[in-house]
Structure 1
Amino acid sequence: MKITEIKTYLVNANESQRTGRPRGRNWLFVKVFTDDGITGVGEGGGWPFLVAQGIEELSYFLVGQNPFNIEAIWLRLYDILHGHGATGAVRGGIISAIDMALWDIKGKA
């Protein structure tokens, strides 16, 4: 089984009707697709817009990977992000969203 695609979804539950600007918390969800048709869903916290951008930028690394290599992917993501200076909530949000989605795939397989 191989990862074929990653999609991010930003959700704003509290958009102001008057201004259209966010008033509350935003959420980020990620969906990981595989060539076997199994998809996994994860959630990333921290700074959702930055986390979404980070996940999209890392798609090059994730596509083609075996989604069952969860620990190896986690460590590689950590190394890549650390090397680019991503720390704290952004790094944690990126890694946790992908990690959750991979465990979801494993549970469905």
Structure 2
Amino acid sequence: MARKLSGLIHSSQGCENLVVCNVVVHFEEILDTVVPQSQLVISRQAFRNNASKYFINGRQSNYTEVTNEAPNKHEDGLLEFLDDIIGTSKYKIPLEEANEKLELLDKEHL
């Protein structure tokens, strides 16, 4: 099992010499028809050296801007979906556990 994104993507049989891969996700709001100006394209390039680049509508961006660009942050599953694409979902549980420990320590010191 690959531990890093580059190992999973770039070590597949027959594709050992690839240096980059792309994930592109297209979003648009539909109310019977596509709502004008609602299209959003979020993409990520992952490189063999484990570096990544993020893009919004073809313009280079960063993780923070990509997650802030979500059309409706309360829409079920959208941010989780973006986290999976971007590769940060693996940090969710450790961060939640660390926050719980921090809250306990704060209560102990009050």
State the TM bucket, normalised to the shorter chain: 0.3 to 0.5
Larger Rg: 2
TM-score for both structures, normalised by structure 2:
0.33
Greater relative CO (CA pairs within 8 A, separation 6+)? 1
Greater per-residue helix proportion: 1
TM-score for both structures, normalised by structure 1:
0.33
